[in-house]
Structure 1
Amino acid sequence: MKYIVPSLLILVLAANTALAGPAPWFQWRSKLNGAFACSQTPLGPGWEKSAGPYRDARCEKLIVAK
């Protein structure tokens, strides 16, 4: 009986994680030379967010807000 509650908690957390969607992609612009890169996470202090969010790793398919 003492294992039922922790097991149910783990099951609920696992199910919630399985329903989560992927993180969006953003286009980043280099402050140094203006080059563009597509990433889900910030690339560092030398980069600034340029556009997004996108659904794909090529930063081609914009996510349209409903």
Structure 2
Amino acid sequence: MRSRPLLAALLLLACGWSAAAIAAPAPWYWWQSADSERRVCAQHSPAPNWQRVSGPFRNAACKP
């Protein structure tokens, strides 16, 4: 009966490792303000009035 908690702990640990293995960082996009010509490279919209103009990119430089 002692092996059940150990087995449960190992199973939980294995599930955690598998989830971490498939995790990926969020992509980066060029965003442009609807009010001006200002552009910014970000993972999420800086404000509600910003529109995504290109991407996705893998890094914060927004270069392929």
Query: Who wins on radius of gyration, i.e. which is larger?
Result: 2
What percentage of aligned pairs have identical amino acids? 31
Structure 1, unmatched stretches of 5+, are: 62-66
Are 1:17 and 2:20 counterparts?
yes
- Aligned Cα root-mean-square deviation (Å): 1.8
Aligned pair in 2 of structure 1 residues 15, 26: CA closer, same or farther (>3 Å)?
same
Structure 2, unmatched stretches of 5+, are: none
Q: Deviations over 1:4-34 (max 9, x none)?
A: 3254134313332233222111110011212
- Per residue, is there more helix in 1 or in 2? 2
> Could you tell me how far apart the structure 2 residues matched to 1:37 and 1:14 are?
35
TM-score, normalisation: structure 1 = 0.71
User: Structure 1: which 4+ aligned runs deviate by more than 6 Å?
Assistant: none
User: What secondary structure sits across from 2:31 in the alignment?
Assistant: strand
